[in-house]
Structure 1
Amino acid sequence: MNKIIIYHGDITKVECQAIVNAANTSLMGGGGVDGAIHRAGGTKILDACKKIRASQGGCKVGHAVITTAGNLLADKIIHTVGPVWNNKGVEEELLRSCYKSVFDLAVQNNICELAIPNISTGIYRFPKKLAAEIAIEATKDFLKRNENFKQVIFVCFDIENYLIYKELLGMTE
């Protein structure tokens, strides 16, 4: 069984143990995938995020937190804050840190199936191919060390990201 799957569609419709949210530092929802997850998941997600904000003041870039998935088909949401692309040389490491933080939380919470969107490639303007390369590398490294992990589903909302991931993974139709 292939442990890395590429899916073109809406992450809020994916049924799995946990989905990853490309959040902002406030955890209060926003545009893109973050807004879609908050809208589809309902107020339980926002309430959980408010509790995290009250206890630790949000989530820093490159870090992750976990909440309920509310009304979504997943059990949990791992919210991670990707970097805004400014081409200053630190963004790549911050994006790698997002994946490490997500995978660490998954292991800590006995999650063995994740759906992950394209982190930072929307309004944060991270170059799509570079972001995909980092995502795939981090995922392959994680899966090598965690053989019991069931699967990672990269959920690409736009066709451009979908085709980039398929190409990088050598997948054909």
Structure 2
Amino acid sequence: MEIAIIKGDITKIPVDAIVNAANTSLLGGGGVDGAIHQAGGLSILEDCQKIRNKQGGCQVGEAVITTAGHLPAKFVIHTVGPVWNNGKSNEETLLATAYLNSLRLAVENEIESISFPNISTGIYKFPKEKAAEIAIRTVKEFLKTNDKITKVIFVCFDEGNFIIYNDLLTKIKI
């Protein structure tokens, strides 16, 4: 089992599944969501529309899976992180649940390698350090009891998150 941290573009990472920090509509947006939809092509949007027609989108903390289109992955796991509301709306639990449900969906689909963006830290304004701690702790705890996923990559788009993740990865012991 390997956990890696890289600075780069998640749409270029060759893994079984790329996690998308989606919105509840699943129809694309800004940030990583827009980049994944743009790089992956129309088939991702078409799959998202089928999911919307079936279940009406994706709630905060939940996760759904689609094709990866033109991306160097087999799947995209779309999860919705919480908007930061000063910690008053159960945001920490919801963020952990988004990571956990993404990992569970990966195992259900026999995914062995997965890459995560820094969920909720962009326009959703989740504090970067707190989000990184939740992400790393949740992934480490999950991998402790599950050996199906062999590689997790945290892909940081910006230098700030990259530094935070590198610092916390060795500090957080499970």
* TM-score past 0.5 threshold: yes
- Whether 2:76 is the aligned partner of 1:77: answer yes
Give every structure 1 segment of 4 or more consecutive aligned residues whose post-TM-superposition deviation is greater than 4 Å.
Answer: none
Residues 107 and 148, structure 2, Cα contact 8 Å, conserved in 1: no
Could you tell me how far 1:89 is from its partner in structure 2? Answer: 4.4
1:140 is aligned to: 140
Give the counterpart letter for 2:4 in structure 1: I
TM-score normalised by structure 1 residue count:
0.96
2:128 is aligned to: 128
1:103 is aligned to: 103
- Whether 2:153 is the aligned partner of 1:156: answer no
Distance 1:89 1:60, change over 3 A: closer
How many residues matched? 170
Residues of 1 paired with 2:99 and 2:148: CA distance? 18
**SS of structure 1 residue aligned to 2:94:** helix
TM-score normalised by structure 2 residue count:
0.95
1:119 is aligned to: 119
2:43 is aligned to: 44
1:170 is aligned to: 170
What's the RMSD between the two structures over aligned residues?
A: 1.1
1:34 is aligned to: 33
User: How far does the alpha carbon of each residue in 1:84-111 deviate from its partner, in whole angstroms, 9 at most, with x for none?
Assistant: 0002140000001101110110110001
The unaligned stretches of length 5 or more in structure 2 are none
Could you tell me how far 1:112 is from its partner in structure 2? Answer: 1.2
Residues of 2 paired with 1:104 and 1:39: CA distance? 26
Residues of 1 paired with 2:40 and 2:63: CA distance? 18
Residues of 2 paired with 1:95 and 1:164: CA distance? 17
